[in-house]
Amino acid sequence: MTPAPFDYAAPTSLKEALRLLDNRSADPKILAGGHSLLPLMKLRLAAPGVLVDLRRVPDLRGIQAGDGRLVIGAMTRYVDLEGSPLLHEHAPILAQAAGLVGDAQVRNRGTIGGAIAHADPAGDMPAVICCLDASLHLASPRGERTVPATEFFRDIFETALSEDEILTHISLPIPSTPPAQHYVKFRRRMCDWAIVGASVSVTCDDERITACRVFLTNVGPIPTRATAVESALEGRNPTAETISQAARGAGADLSPSSELNGSADYKRHLAGVTCSRALQDALGIGRA
C-alpha cells in the first residue's frame, strides 16, 4: 500500500512549521510519529498535500519540571514517557499507560502529541491526560494559547485545534502529595486498542479519599468523566467495599457505541470492571 503523492517538509523551527501549516491551499498536515497518520494515508483515507514533519523542530521533545508543573514536549515518544523518572515520581499513570500502547516498535515512534491531536476515541492518552488535569499548549501564527485537556476533545477525531495551530507541549500540575494512580486497559490481545479503559487518580489523607478523578476510554466519542464513581468515592474510606460500590455505578449513564470488539452493554459492564480494577491497583487494595 502506497500513499497518494504529497510533498514533504522537515522545518527546523516552530516558526517555519507554522508558516508551512498556514499555507492552506497546499493542504498541509502535521507529521509527528506517523503511526496513526501513515496507516490512514496508506489506505488513502487521508491524502494531505504536504506533510510538515516536526522531527527537526527543537524543544518539542523531552520532559521537564518547573514552577510546580511538568512540561512534556508534544514530540516525546511513548518509550520516553515509559522510562521517565519525573513521570514515575509525579504522574506514574502516564508512564504506565504509555507502556500499554501498541508494541515496542510503535512506542519507539509514536508520540504523546500525535496521539492527542489525532484524538482517537480508543486511544489511551486522551483519557489519561484528562485524568491528570493536563493543559495543552497550542501555537499558531496568531500567538499561543492554553486549553484544558477536558475542553480539548470535541468529537471523534475532532479537537479544539484550529487548522493553523500546532500542539507544542502538554503540562501537568505536580501534586503536593503523591496521588495513587492507575490505568487499566481492557483488550483481548496485546497490541490491541482498548475495548474500554479506566484512568484513576486518587488522593487520600490518613483515612479518607479527599479527591479523585476518573476518566474512561472508548465509551463515547471523547474521554468520559465517571462523575458518579468520583462522587461515590470522595470523603469515603478507601476500602474494597467502597471501591466495588463506587465502580458499580460507572456504566449507568454511558451510551457507548457498539463495535466489533464489544456491544454497548458489554462496554457498560467493562466500565465497572475496569474502574474497579484501576482503583484496586491504584490504592493497593487486593482484587477480590
Partner 1 sequence: MRIALTVNGERQEIDVEPRLLLVHLLRDHLGRTGTHIGCDTSNCGACTILLDGDAVKSCTLLAVQADGCAITTIEGLASGSQMHPVQEAFWDNHGLQCGFCTPGMIMAAVALLDRTPRPSEEEIKRGLEGNLCRCTGYVNIIRSVQAAAEALDRSGSVPAA
Give me the least distance between CB of 129 and partner 1, in Å please.
24
Indicate the residue among 61 and 269 with the shorter CB distance to partner 1: 61
Helices then strands (H, E): number in the chain? 12, 14
The answer to whether 6 touches 47, Cβ cutoff 8 Å, is yes
Binds partner 1 (CB under 8 A): choice among 30, 35, 159, 226: 35
Indicate the residue among 244 and 261 with the shorter CB distance to partner 1: 261
Instruction: Work out whether 206 is an interface residue with partner 1 (CB under 8 A).
Output: no
Instruction: Work out whether 58 is an interface residue with partner 1 (CB under 8 A).
Output: no
Give me the least distance between CB of 35 and partner 1, in Å please.
6
C-alpha–C-alpha distance, residues 78 and 141, integer Å: 28
Instruction: Work out whether 8 is an interface residue with partner 1 (CB under 8 A).
Output: yes
Indicate the residue among 48 and 121 with the shorter CB distance to partner 1: 48
Binds partner 1 (CB under 8 A): choice among 7, 89, 151, 155: 7
Which whole-number Å values give the CA distances from 57 to 44, 125, 151, 180, 236, in the listed order? 27, 22, 27, 35, 48
The answer to whether 246 touches 279, Cβ cutoff 8 Å, is yes
| Radius of gyration, alpha carbons of the chain | 19
Indicate the residue among 48 and 197 with the shorter CB distance to partner 1: 48
Of 80, 97, 248, the closest CA to residue 182 belongs to 97
Which whole-number Å values give the CA distances from 195 to 122, 215, 273, in the listed order? 7, 14, 12
Indicate the residue among 101 and 283 with the shorter CB distance to partner 1: 101
Reduced to 3 states (helix: H, G, I; strand: E, B; else coil), residue 81 is helix
List the grid coordinates of 38: 501513515
Q: Using CB under 8 A as the criterion, what x/- string covers residues 74-103 for binding partner 1?
A: -----x----------------------xx
Instruction: Work out whether 261 is an interface residue with partner 1 (CB under 8 A).
Output: no
In this structure, the number of other CB atoms found within 10 A of the CB of residue 10 comes to 15
Instruction: Work out whether 55 is an interface residue with partner 1 (CB under 8 A).
Output: yes
Indicate the residue among 33 and 238 with the shorter CB distance to partner 1: 33
Binds partner 1 (CB under 8 A): choice among 45, 190, 260, 288: 190
C-alpha–C-alpha distance, residues 181 and 218, integer Å: 19
Binds partner 1 (CB under 8 A): choice among 6, 157, 193, 266: 6
Instruction: Work out whether 104 is an interface residue with partner 1 (CB under 8 A).
Output: yes
First to last CA, the chain: 48
Instruction: Work out whether 49 is an interface residue with partner 1 (CB under 8 A).
Output: no
C-alpha–C-alpha distance, residues 172 and 94, integer Å: 11
Binds partner 1 (CB under 8 A): choice among 22, 69, 88, 108: 108
Reduced to 3 states (helix: H, G, I; strand: E, B; else coil), residue 206 is coil
Instruction: Work out whether 40 is an interface residue with partner 1 (CB under 8 A).
Output: no
Give the interface size with partner 1 as a residue count (CB under 8 A): 29
β-pair type (196-204, 209-217): antiparallel
For partner 1, the binding residues (CB under 8 A) are 1-8, 10, 31, 34-35, 38-39, 41-42, 51, 53, 55, 79, 102-106, 108-109, 190-191
